[in-house]
Amino acid sequence: MPDISSRDPDWWRQAVVYQVYPRSFADADGDGLGDLKGITQRLAHLATLGVDAVWLSPFYPSELADGGYDIADHRDVDPRLGTLDDFDEMTAEAHRLGLKVVVDIVPNHTSHRHDWFQEALRDGPGSAARDRYVFRAGGGTHGELPPTDWQSVFGGSAWTRVADGEWYLHLFATEQPDLNWDHDEVRADFRATLRFWADRGVDGFRVDVAHALAKDLSEPLRDVGDLEAVGELALHRVPPGSHPYYDRDEVHEIYRDWRRVFDTYSPPRTAVAEAWVPHSRRALYARLDELGQAFNFEYLQTAWDADALRQVITESLAAAQTAGASATWVLSNHDVVRHSSRLVLPPGTDENAWLLSDGRAPSIDRAAGLRRARAATLLMLALPGSSYVYQGEELGLPEVADLPTAVLQDPIWQQTGRVRKGRDGCRVPIPWTTTGPSYGFGAGGAWLPQPPEFASYAVAAQDGTEGSTLELYRAALRLRRKLLDGERLVWADESPEGVLQFARGDGWRCVTNLSGRSVPLPPGEVLLSSAPTEDGRLGPDTTAWLA
Ligand code: GLC
């Protein structure tokens, strides 16, 4: 069993990390928005669940143009969510309960309300303040056209024009101007931010859009043409490192610099990159002299198909090994359709169109979705490396696909001219109790409406209930701690078609049935299964752990 104690420098290698989206987790002051005190009060839930660490999405001062990823001050707490004292209290309580704390660092951009951007607007073209961002003159006869064809990830041009006629770059929302990482002051400021949180006892960092910081800003800026239509998928079509603003080789200098900061602490601070890049390139971010881990979005995007999963698992392990890193696995987060809904969407479904139909075209079978999600989770938790779990998935929460458009907060909705609903459906505040104005989220309402069926998913409804998804997660995490032994995975020599089977260490085997029909269970004692096993058989969409 690995030592998850506070001094072990390798605690992260096989850790299970629970993602809290602070505004939707627990609301202590009843204003409808989750807060730090709410998190502190609910940390016992995470300790009982059996995770090793909690990662908090941003809680910094923000006008919430992008759910908190638009940050006005990277070294403070949004007053609606609490104070730095509340943060310290939360960290102390987490540590007391044996939980590590990971915070989100958002280095690609600031909020337009950040002092630096306000200064840049005031000081005007050519000023030193503008140089911390990416300001340019426009094209066309009078500068009326954006400087390049670059598009925002959230829709529309990535350039917005300011009153004096210059344009600034924002790869995300208009309110999120991109920083210029060629600027020494920008680099120094983020080193200070990392130290600020590490000094407060933070154990690790999740690095937002880690692949976009380094940009080719040499003149003239290059158009990307057709590539724009496919966004980050463009990286599969161009020579590695040649895209003007994604996954450039120079970005790694930044993370090598950060590693020097992390290593001044004991144990060294950890980091995980959010990098939507192909496998082989992702491993570069995870090198031990850089961030150590990178999210495995290829795994998240893999269909519920035995061959595809086996391939992605094999490739992910190999890629992590080349970097000396541990592999990571994730099925849900605050940016994607929850996996209990996503995994039963027919292959090829356009998720944006599905959300726009309020989850009706096609309609999905919730029970089948939950069954599959539970099987997928047990499979994930048996893989060597670190797993990331998103708040609410331990309750089996489905995507809230039918949020009325009037309540949508994600900037994607407006910025795409109302053709993509965005990510609010996975960000609905989670239910703790079966009754109450927001099912125990807080004493008041919730910033996004919770559907009535959330009552049946509440922690209180599942706590101690045999067979509930919450109890399945608890049992799995308990058992995983006991069984963990090295980072080895050995595929079984033979498995029926559509069945994945592998061994971990000596006494632990995992078998997942994706074949659509029941199959005989391999010999051995069933330690845990995602659905009941009967007469020595494993039903469809079921995972079992065996000894
Ligand atoms: C990351 C975050 C996402 C955010 C974006 C811009 O992808 O996960 O929620 O909108 O970065 O900061």
Q: Would you say the CB of residue 208 lies under 6 angstroms from ligand 1?
A: yes
Q: 229 pLDDT exceeds 80? A: no
Which pLDDT score is estimated for 222? 93
Q: How far is the CA of 111 from the centre of ligand 1 (A)?
A: 13
Q: Is the peptide bond before 146 cis (omega within 30 degrees of 0)?
A: no
Nearest CA to ligand 1 atom 9: 335
Q: 417 pLDDT exceeds 90? A: yes
Which pLDDT score is estimated for 4? 45
Q: How many Cβ atoms sit within 10 Å of the Cβ of residue 490?
A: 11
CB-based contact 426:437 (threshold 8 Å):
no
Q: Is the peptide bond before 147 cis (omega within 30 degrees of 0)?
A: no
Which among 187, 545, 203, 176 has a CA at the least distance from the CA of 381? 545
Q: How many Cβ atoms sit within 10 Å of the Cβ of residue 9?
A: 13
Which of 66, 104, 108, 179 gets mutated to test ligand 1 (max ligand atoms within 8 A of its CB)? Answer: 66
In angstroms, the CA 296 to CA 277 distance is 9
Q: Would you say the CB of residue 304 lies under 6 angstroms from ligand 1?
A: no
CB-based contact 50:481 (threshold 8 Å):
yes
Q: Would you say the CB of residue 335 lies under 6 angstroms from ligand 1?
A: yes
What is the pLDDT confidence band of residue 6, given thresholds at 50, 70 and 90? Answer: low
CB-based contact 371:530 (threshold 8 Å):
yes
Mean pLDDT calculated for residue range 391-410 = 98
Q: Would you say the CB of residue 106 lies under 6 angstroms from ligand 1?
A: yes
Q: 3 pLDDT exceeds 50? A: no
In angstroms, the CA 362 to CA 360 distance is 5
Q: CA dihedral defined by 384, 338, 394, 5, rounded to 10 degrees?
A: 40
Mean pLDDT calculated for residue range 99-106 = 98
Ligand 1 atom showing the smallest separation from residue 106 Cα: 12
Q: 85 pLDDT exceeds 70? A: yes
**DSSP letter (8 states) at residue 24:** G
Does pTM top 0.85 for this prediction?
Answer: yes
Does residue 491 sit in helix, strand or coil?
strand
Mean pLDDT calculated for residue range 206-211 = 98
Write out pLDDT tens, residues 455-471.
Answer: 999 999 999 999 999 99
Percent of the chain with pLDDT over 90: 94
In angstroms, the CA 516 to CA 402 distance is 29
Q: 119 pLDDT exceeds 90? A: yes
In 294-365, where does DSSP find H-type helix? 297-300, 306-323, 339-342, 351-356
Ligand 1 atom showing the smallest separation from residue 69 Cα: 12
- Cα angle: 95, vertex 478, 39; to 5 degrees: 35
Beta pairing partners, 273: 207, 294
In 383-451, where does DSSP find H-type helix? 411-415
Nearest CA to ligand 1 atom 2: 208
Write out pLDDT tens, residues 294-349.
Answer: 999 999 999 999 999 999 999 999 999 999 999 999 999 999 999 999 999 999 99
Q: How many Cβ atoms sit within 10 Å of the Cβ of residue 437?
A: 14
**Mean pLDDT in the chain?**
96
Q: 1 pLDDT exceeds 70? A: no
CB-based contact 151:172 (threshold 8 Å):
no
CB-based contact 390:332 (threshold 8 Å):
yes
Q: How far is the CA of 208 from the centre of ligand 1 (A)?
A: 6
Q: Would you say the CB of residue 66 lies under 6 angstroms from ligand 1?
A: yes
Q: How far is the CA of 69 from the centre of ligand 1 (A)?
A: 6
Q: Would you say the CB of residue 424 lies under 6 angstroms from ligand 1?
A: no
Which pLDDT score is estimated for 2? 41
CB-based contact 282:272 (threshold 8 Å):
no
Nearest CA to ligand 1 atom 3: 335
Ligand 1 atom showing the smallest separation from residue 154 Cα: 10
Q: How far is the CA of 112 from the centre of ligand 1 (A)?
A: 16
Reading the block at residue 59, the tokens are 């809680």
Mean pLDDT calculated for residue range 283-288 = 96
What is the pLDDT confidence band of residue 231, given thresholds at 50, 70 and 90? Answer: low
Nearest CA to ligand 1 atom 12: 69
Write out pLDDT tens, residues 153-169.
Answer: 999 999 999 999 999 99
Beta strands in 234-291 (DSSP E): 270-273
Reading the block at residue 111, the tokens are 């909020």
What is the pLDDT confidence band of residue 232, given thresholds at 50, 70 and 90? Answer: low
Does residue 414 sit in helix, strand or coil?
helix
Q: 225 pLDDT exceeds 90? A: no
Q: Would you say the CB of residue 209 lies under 6 angstroms from ligand 1?
A: yes
Beta strands in 341-444 (DSSP E): 386-390
Which of 172, 179, 272 gets mutated to test ligand 1 (max ligand atoms within 8 A of its CB)? Answer: 172
Which pLDDT score is estimated for 230? 64
What is the pLDDT confidence band of residue 228, given thresholds at 50, 70 and 90? Answer: low
Percent of the chain with pLDDT over 70: 98
Which among 15, 91, 106 has a CA at the least distance from the CA of 57? 106
Q: 481 pLDDT exceeds 80? A: yes
Q: Residue 134, Cα to own-chain centre: how many angstroms?
A: 27
Nearest CA to ligand 1 atom 4: 69
- Cα angle: 316, vertex 320, 322; to 5 degrees: 120
Q: Would you say the CB of residue 69 lies under 6 angstroms from ligand 1?
A: yes
